[in-house]
Structure formats: C-alpha cells, structure tokens
Chain A
Amino acid sequence: MIDPLKFLPPTDFRDRLNLEADPDGIKSADAFEWEVNTPRMKSTTKIPEKLKALMGGSWPLEDTQRPEVSDAKAQEACSESALERILSKGEARDKANDKCLQRLSVARNRLSPIVRELSLVYPNCSLMISGFFLYPQGGGYMGWHTNEGNACTRLYLSHAPEDDKSFFRYYCGGEYVTSWDKQGWNLRQFEVTKGDDDPLWHCVYANVGRLSVGFRINKNLKPLK
C-alpha cells in the first residue's frame, strides 16, 4: 500500500515523480477484463492491482460536515418509482439535484499517477476527473440523472466495504438494472449520449460508506510519438 502521507502536500512534482513510493513492480493493465460487457454499460470487480494500489491510502474530505442521512430517503430517491415520476413530468435531468454525499479533495500528485495508469487503458484520450465522493454510511445517494450535458465515456471506480450494500442503478432500453457493489473495488464504464431518445438514466445508493471517483473520457488526442 502506498504511503498516504506522501500525498498531503497539494502540489509538488517531487511527489509526482517519486518513483520510490510508486507501486513499482506491479504490472500496468492494458485493458480491463469486463464481467458485464454491453454497448452502453461495462462493469467488473477485476481491478488491476496497480490501480488499486494507486487508489489506496486515505483521501481527505473536502466537505468536512457529515450530511444528515436517511436510508429511507436514499432508497426512495433511487427507486424505480422516483424515475417514473421524473419521466412522467418529461423532465430532463442532466445532473442530480438530490443527493447525500461528501466531496473528497484530490491532490494533483495523487491524481496524476492514476490518470496516467488509466491512459494506458485508454490511449489517445483526455481523462478528466468528474467527481470524487464519499457516500456516507446509512443512506448516501445520488438521485436519478443522465449527465447528457457532457456526452462522453464515463468511468467510475468505487469502493464498498461490504457486498451488496450499495449499488449503481441504471435505466436504459426500457429496462432497470441494479448493479450491486461487491466488497472492494468495482469499476463501471458507460456511455453518456446527447440528444438521445434513450439516455442512460442512473443513480447511486449506499447503505455503507462508498468511495467513488469518476472520470470523463474523450478520445481527442493523437498517439504519443
């Protein structure tokens, strides 16, 4: 496991290039091994060791005040009926306007090696962090939304301390799918489209403390020379 103290200074290239502290010797992945692999959604619990090592250690909270949690409220916000209500009103919901989570702060010297590791799997792509959250135990959630304001590939790496206590739920093609988190790291990739008649509605529920980091992936680079 990497030393979390290494990441306390917010920006310093010494840390970024501190190879001694990097999880050297762990092979980088050149592709993920998806357990679920559909055109709109992919997921796996087979996370490359190097990525897990880079994600390890502690992450400081940006929002230090713990939000009030209610499991009933979280379950309701992520229910099928909640989405049916939104859809019946014909509402567009690019971003979730109901949520219960805490933001984590990400120092560049921690983010950079993670992005570089991911760039081996996604060559020629810009990778931008879209959010780093801790869903609090007992009823963390992010309500239904589509993200269709930012059409791109989305990648979410989440960590759950227990099996089947938190989930990523989505609705697409007239079907609801609940993708329960397994204990440890879970990786999901999905496609966000714009102006789509069938956008990928999704939400997140957590009865346990759930860490989640998301990336926007856009293929807009030429190969490295």
Chain B
Amino acid sequence: MLHYLYRLPNKPDGGSDLSAPVGMVSIPDESYMHRVPEGAIQVSETPVSEDESGAFFEAWRLSDDGEVYVDLEVAKEIKLNQLRERRDGLFKDLDRQQFNAFGSKKTDIVEKIEEEKELLRNVTERIDWDQVTTLEQINYVMPPEMV
C-alpha cells in the first residue's frame, strides 16, 4: 500500500495553512493516484513514530517542508477529551449507585460517592501541564481517580 498525507482545507477560500488538520489516503498502487489529492506527500504506514496507533491523528500537522509533526496543544486537548469521555462513563455508574444508596438510606455510601464525584469533577484541573512537554508524556497522563 502507498500512503499519502495532505492538509485539509481550513480557510474560507478552500486553502489551508500550517494549523490545518490532515487527511490520509492509502492506495494499493500508483494506478490509483487519481484518488490522491494534489499536494499530498507520500508517507510511511506510521508517519508519526510516537503516535503509531494514530490516537492523536487530529493533532497531526504537515509543515511546508513536508514534515509530519504533532501539534502538542491540540494533542493536549484530545487527551482532555479522552479523559472527559472516560469520566462521563464513571459518573453514570456513580450516579446510579448513589441513587440506589439514597433509596436504601445508606447515607455514608451516598457521601462517599459524592466525594468520589467531586474528585472526578476536578480531575482535569489536576493535570500539571508544565510537566507535560512531549506526546509521550501526554499519553501517560492518568490521574489515579480515573483508573
């Protein structure tokens, strides 16, 4: 397979700049080149070695020199969204349990769950972004409350 990366339009006139997200297209061989957008550059199957899974694909950017890199600020936002999504699932479970505990008049459990929820509410503010300067480090942000 041949893999190509290209900037997606992010300007009103259909153009794009450095901050544009990228698209990726894979073709079996060069006879399918008509499917590859103009200006796309050929890349390996995993063009960003530190993001082999593509979990931060939306943060990939293409420089004018054809270099693929990761916009760390966008990657941080992606991480925050991943944590929020995880937290939503945890909240749903906790809400259900708190409701059951309330119905059973188990006030100690209700309070314990409330404490847990409070920890979760503040969890994204706990991240010390000054300590997180690479994509690898972004990957390893996981407050214990979220495990």
Q: A residues touching B (Cβ–Cβ < 8 Å)?
A: 11-14, 17, 19, 108, 111-112, 115-116, 118-119, 124-128, 149-152, 216, 218-222, 224-225
Contacts and interface: CB of A to CB of B under 8 A. Distances in A.
Given A108-B147, A112-B147, A220 B141 contact: yes
Nearest to A117: B144
Contact of A222 (B90, B119, B127): B127
Nearest to A126: B142
Nearest to A108: B147
Contacts of B112: 17, 19
Interface string B88-125: 00100110010000000000010011001001001001
B97 A17 contact: yes
B140 A152 contact: yes
Contacts of A115: 144, 147
A220 B140 contact: yes
B46 interface: no
Nearest to A116: B144
A224 B120 CA distance: 11
Contacts of A220: 127-128, 131-132, 137, 140-141
B128 A126 contact: no
Given A13-B90, A116-B144, A126-B141, A219 B131 contact: yes
Interface residues of B, number: 25
Contact of B141 (A11, A150, A218): A218
Nearest to B132: A220
B119 A124 contact: no
A151 B125 CA distance: 24
Contacts of A119: 144
A222 B126 contact: yes
Interface of B: 90, 93-94, 97, 109, 112-113, 116, 119, 122, 125-128, 131-132, 136-137, 140-145, 147
A34 B49 CA distance: 37
3 tightest A-B CB contacts, nearest first: A119-B144, A13-B93, A220-B131
28 contacts: A13-B90, A13-B94, A14-B97, A17-B109, A17-B112, A19-B112, A112-B147, A115-B144, A115-B147, A119-B144, A125-B144, A126-B140, A126-B143, A128-B140, A218-B131, A218-B137, A219-B128, A220-B128, A220-B131, A220-B132, A220-B137, A220-B140, A220-B141, A221-B126, A221-B127, A221-B141, A222-B128, A224-B119
A32 B81 CA distance: 35
A125 B147 CA distance: 12
Contacts of A219: 128, 131
A220 B141 CA distance: 7
A153 to B, nearest CB: 11
A127 B147 CA distance: 8
A75 to B, nearest CB: 33
A225 B142 CA distance: 17
A19 B116 CA distance: 13
B112 to A, nearest CB: 6
Contact of A224 (B116, B126, B127): B126
Nearest to A216: B140
B97 A13 contact: yes
Contact of B113 (A17, A124, A128, A224): A17
A105 B80 CA distance: 27
A190 to B, nearest CB: 16
